[in-house]
C-alpha cells in the first residue's frame, strides 16, 4: 500500500507498507530506487525487469529431508520458537520508540575496538547488543540472542539472482550468556554474530525449503514469531538498511529530507538506517520497554566493557 500526503508548504510525504510475503528489505529497496529512477527519467525510460520466478528459488528435493528444527527456529509453536524464552506481551503504551545517532567518528572507533575486519552493521550490532543487555539489568547466567535477517540469494545452491523480487531471507541467531555479551571484547561479540550468520549456508537453506514442502503437504498452519506488543527481552531483533543510498530516492526534486520507519510495535526491535545528513553516520531506530530507555541512553555512547550487572 502506498499513501501520498501533500502538505500546504509544498512538502510531500510518501508512506509505504509492504508485507514480507511479497518482498524482503533488499527487494523493497531495489523497488524504491527503480521507482524513483522511472519517475525522474520520465517517458521513454525502460527499467530492466526483475527476476520473479519464485518457483525457481525454492526447489525441494525429490524426497524432502529437513535437517534442522525449523518449526522451533523460525515459527511459533515449537519448543524454543527461536527465542531464549517465551515472549511476554507488553502494553503498547509501555513501549517507547527512540532514535540514536552514531557519528562516523564513533563508528570508526568501534571498528578499531573489534581488532579485525568487520562491517559497520556488525560492529554497531555488537555495541547495541551490549548496551541494551546492560540497560535491561539481566542476570549474568541468562541467555540472550539477536535475530538477524540474512540475505540468502548468494548463499543458495544454485545462487538466486540479486535482482530477485521476493523474500529470500532467513534468520540467524547469535546467542550468548549475558556475562559474555557484557564481558567479551567487541571482537568476541562480532565473532559470535559472524559465526551465526555463516551457519545459514546452502545446506540450511535447502533444509528450510524441504521443511516448507513437508508442512504444505501436511496442511500445517505456521505462525510468525512476533506480533504487536511482543516483548523480546532478553532478546533483540535487528533489521538494516545500511546498504541503501538516499540519492536512489530522488524522484526529480532531490533526495528526501528524511527516511525513517514508523513506530515499531515490538519491544527489542531495531533498525539501522544510514544518516541522511552526515556521510558515514548511522541512525538507530529502536523500541524499548519504558523502564529500560533511561539506562540505555546513559550508556549508549560508552565504549567501556561493562560488568555483568549494572
**Distance from the Cα of residue 304 to its chain's centroid:** 25
Q: How far apart are CA 177 and CA 183, in angstroms?
A: 10
Pairing of strands 143-151, 236-240: parallel
Catalytic annotation present for 87 = no
Give backbone dihedrals phi and psi of 211, rounded to 5 degrees, phi first.
-60, -40
Q: Exactly one of 20, 69, 163, 180 is catalytic; which is it?
A: 20
For residues 190 and 65, what is the distance between their CA atoms, to the nearest angstrom?
32
Please tell me the number of Cα atoms within 13 Å of 43 on its side-chain side.
Answer: 0
Q: How many CB atoms lie within 10 A of CB 215?
A: 17
Pairing of strands 282-289, 269-274: antiparallel
Please pick, among 69, 163, 180, 250, the residue that the annotation labels catalytic. Answer: 250
Taking the C-alpha atoms of residue 45 and residue 48, their distance in angstroms, rounded to an integer, is 10
Cis peptide before 234 (omega within 30 of 0): yes
Which residues have a Cβ under 8 Å from the Cβ of 191 and sit 6 or more positions away? none
304 tagged catalytic: no
Strand partners, 4: 14
C-alpha cell at 232: 523480546
**Around Cβ 297, how many Cβ atoms within 10 Å?**
14
- The answer to whether 241 and 274 have CB atoms below 8 angstroms apart is yes
Q: Mind telling me the catalytic residues?
A: 20, 250
Amino acid at each position: 500500500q502506498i499513501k501520498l500526503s501533500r502538505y500546504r508548504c509544498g512538502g510531500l510525504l510518501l508512506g509505504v507498507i509492504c508485507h514480507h510475503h511479497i518482498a524482503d528489505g533488499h527487494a523493497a529497496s531495489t523497488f524504491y530506487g527503480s521507482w524513483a529512477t522511472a519517475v525522474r527519467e520520465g517517458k521513454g525510460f525502460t527499467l530492466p525487469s526483475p527476476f520473479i520466478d519464485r518457483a525457481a528459488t525454492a526447489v525441494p528435493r525429490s524426497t524432502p529431508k529437513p535437517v534442522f528444527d525449523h518449526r522451533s527456529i523460525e515459527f511459533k509453536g515449537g519448543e524454543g520458537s527461536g527465542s531464549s524464552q517465551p515472549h511476554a506481551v507488553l502494553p503498547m503504551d509501555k513501549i517507547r520508540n527512540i532514535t540514536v545517532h552514531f557519528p562516523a567518528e564513533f563508528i570508526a572507533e568501534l571498528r578499531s575496538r573489534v581488532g579485525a575486519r568487520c562491517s559497520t552493521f556488525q560492529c554497531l550490532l555488537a555495541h547495541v547488543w551490549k548496551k541494551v543487555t546492560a540497560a535491561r539489568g539481566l542476570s549474568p547466567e541468562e541467555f540472550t540472542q539477536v535475530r538477524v535477517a540474512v540475505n540468502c540469494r548468494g548463499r543458495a545452491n544454485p545462487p538466486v539472482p540479486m535482482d530477485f523480487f521476493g523474500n529470500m531471507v532467513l534468520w540467524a541467531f547469535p546467542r550468548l550468556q549475558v556475562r559474555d555479551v557484557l564481558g567479551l571484547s567487541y571482537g568476541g561479540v562480532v565473532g559470535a554474530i559472524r559465526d551465526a550468520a555463516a551457519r545459514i549456508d546452502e545446506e540450511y537453506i535447502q533444509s528450510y525449503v524441504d521443511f516448507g514442502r513437508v508442512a504444505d503437504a501436511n496442511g500445517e498452519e505456521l505462525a510468525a514469531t512476533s506480533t504487536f506488543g511482543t516483548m523480546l527481552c532478553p532478546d533483540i531483533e535487528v533489521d538494516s538498511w545500511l546498504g541503501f543510498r538516499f540519492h536512489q530516492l530522488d524522484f526529480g526534486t532531490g533526495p528526501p529530507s528524511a527516511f525513517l520507519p514508523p513506530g515499531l510495535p515490538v519491544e527489542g526491535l531495531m533498525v539501522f538506517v544510514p544518516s541522511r545528513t552526515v556521510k558515514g553516520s548511522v541512525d538507530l531506530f529502536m523500541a524499548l520497554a519504558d523502564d529500560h530507555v533511561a539506562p540505555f541512553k546513559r550508556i549508549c555512547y560508552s565504549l567501556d566493557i561493562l560488568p555483568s550487572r549494572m
